[in-house]
Structure 1
């Protein structure tokens, strides 16, 4: 889930031989990874409990 989230932060217009992963300064990466890992954990029943943050994360896309 994290790898797909990271990859989604690089648009097709940005993708090149020299740019396949986003910069460490790209502010979209952290929230995207958190959202997708949380979704995957809940979807696969790995998550032990739902937190308030879970609802907030999944209401924002």
Structure 2
């Protein structure tokens, strides 16, 4: 699953969790997935960047 998510989204920050949430029962499927398994890859919310100050 992480290989699919990294290939599609380009990172793993919350992607596996989002895909599993969008695909009920997918976590119960043995990996590698059998042919014909449909996996919904949802749109993810845009990542927000926080400004941090290293020194006062």
TM-score (norm 1): 0.28
Higher-Rg structure is: 2
> Could you say which structure has the higher helix fraction?
1
